[in-house]
Structure formats: structure tokens, C-alpha cells
């Protein structure tokens, strides 16, 4: 049921977005560029709107967003329940799963951080 609701929501957003891009291309370009400022992706001079902007609201875009949102359904964690066995990437680029790092009955501690 959740996948069907996500399908309907994403499809509706893509249809509305594509329609707005056709009817109001300049306004949509400004809106998409404004969204790009939040993620700072338009700070890269080699990453021009003309290369990626028109891909918004395409069929490939729809499939990609659906794939990501459906995958996130599998990664939901609930209090008191076992953690999802999500894939992680090691420093060597190897894809493993959280359970691969468990040792006997010892708790597994995940520490997230970033450096900029």
C-alpha cells in the first residue's frame, strides 16, 4: 500500500512539474536553480543548468525518485525493533551490510560525522 501511495504522489508531482516546465519554462528554471542553491550544486561552474535542468520531471527522473523512495521504505527503523540490515560502503569502496560488523553479542555502535 505504501508503494502505491508513493507511486501516486511522485507521479502526480512529475506530471505537475512537467506541465509547469512547459507552460512557464523561465519561472521553473528560476525555481529549480533556487532549489540548487540550497544544495550548493550550482556553485560548481562545470555543473550547468542546461546539462541537468531539463532532466527534471522526465520519465528517468520519475523512475529514479521511485527507486530511492521505495528503497527507503526498507530502511525504516522502529523503536524496540531490530535495526534494518542496510548496506554500507567501507573506506575501500566495498559494499557490506550492518550485520557484517556484528561480533558475538556485543552492541554495534554507529558514529556518523562529516568534514568539510
pTM of the predicted model, to two decimals? Answer: 0.57
- Residue located via cell numbers 546539462: 51
| Residue 107 exposure: Cα atoms within 13 Å on the Cβ side | 3
* DSSP state letter for 81: S
Q: Report the candidate in 100, 98, 97 with the shortest Cα–Cα distance to residue 110.
A: 98
Where does the pLDDT of residue 1 fall: very low under 50, low under 70, confident under 90, or very high at 90 and above? confident
Distance from C-alpha of 70 to C-alpha of 64, rounded to nearest angstrom = 10
Pair 49, 32: CB distance under 8 Å? yes
Dump pLDDT digits (tens) for 59-110: 999 999 998 888 887 777 778 887 788 888 888 889 888 888 888 888 888 7
Amino acid at each position: 500500500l505504501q508503494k502505491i501511495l508513493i507511486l501516486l504522489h511522485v507521479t502526480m508531482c512529475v506530471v505537475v512539474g512537467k506541465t509547469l516546465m512547459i507552460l512557464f519554462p523561465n519561472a521553473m528554471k528560476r525555481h529549480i536553480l533556487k532549489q540548487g542553491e540550497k544544495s550548493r550544486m550550482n556553485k560548481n561552474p562545470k555543473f550547468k543548468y542546461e546539462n541537468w535542468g531539463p532532466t527534471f520531471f522526465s520519465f528517468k527522473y520519475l523512475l529514479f525518485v521511485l527507486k530511492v523512495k521505495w528503497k527507503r521504505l526498507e530502511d525504516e527503523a522502529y523503536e524496540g525493533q531490530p535495526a534494518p540490515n542496510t548496506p554500507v560502503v567501507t573506506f575501500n569502496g566495498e559494499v557490506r551490510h550492518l550485520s557484517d560488523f556484528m561480533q558475538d553479542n556485543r552492541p554495534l555502535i554507529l558514529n556518523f560525522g562529516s568534514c568539510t
